[in-house]
Amino acid sequence: IGSSQSRLFTQLASGLSMPVGFAALGAEADAASEAAAAAIASAAKPHPFIGVSKQGVAGVVHTTGNADCHAIVCGDAPVETAVKYLADAGLCSRVMVDCSAAADQAASAKAAAARVSAGGAEVAGVILNSYLKAGAQPHPPLDEAPDAAARLETGVSISEPCIDWDTTHAVLSELAAAVKARRAATGSAKANGASGPAAKKRRSR
């Protein structure tokens, strides 16, 4: 979720039976990290709010809270700031590194792998934009030029810039090796995210 300060998104996250990430992104690392930590703490609690039932009837929706939320930090930014605010709030001080937001996705992923390989438990995972070929191409307005699709290059993203398949394989292999190294160093699979709080069932009425 990109807007960590949105009460609406926090309420919705509290009712989802799945992990949800809150972005700790922005020019002001302290403010962004503090907002993400506050959103995670809030989403972990039950929330009542006005909603609509499956039958289309307005009513009060009650959530039980989502204990599986986490912070997402930019791949170019240090993780220490977000980790500090999470720890100060009594939350799990592990983050997801958004390598796709970095200037160089592969380099950002390699840096995350190095941190993991050194035994650091603060990185829980990474986000990558990956496709068959590297880069991106503009999506043509098909309503104005129906034949424009024929000029698109197959295998190149029409949305976000991506790393290619070979780079993806190399990055994932390096990350996997880093996880094995951390597991060997700590003597535990827990530091690698192999275990954690199971998602709790949500309810609404």
- 4-56: pLDDT as tens digits: 888 889 999 999 999 999 999 877 889 999 999 999 999 999 999 888 888 89
pLDDT at 189: 58
- 114-160: pLDDT as tens digits: 999 999 999 999 999 999 999 999 887 766 677 777 888 999 999 99
Burial of 26 (0-12, 13-18, 19+ CB in 10 A): middle
- What is the chain's Cα-based Rg? 20
Alpha-carbon gap, residue 92 to 160, rounded angstroms? 30
Q: At what angle do helices 80-88 and 29-43 cross, to 10 degrees?
A: 40
What lies within 8 Å, CB to CB, of 95 at 6+ separation is 24, 70, 71, 72, 73, 79, 82, 83, 86, 122, 123, 124
Query: Is it the case that residue 200 has pLDDT exceeding 80?
Result: no
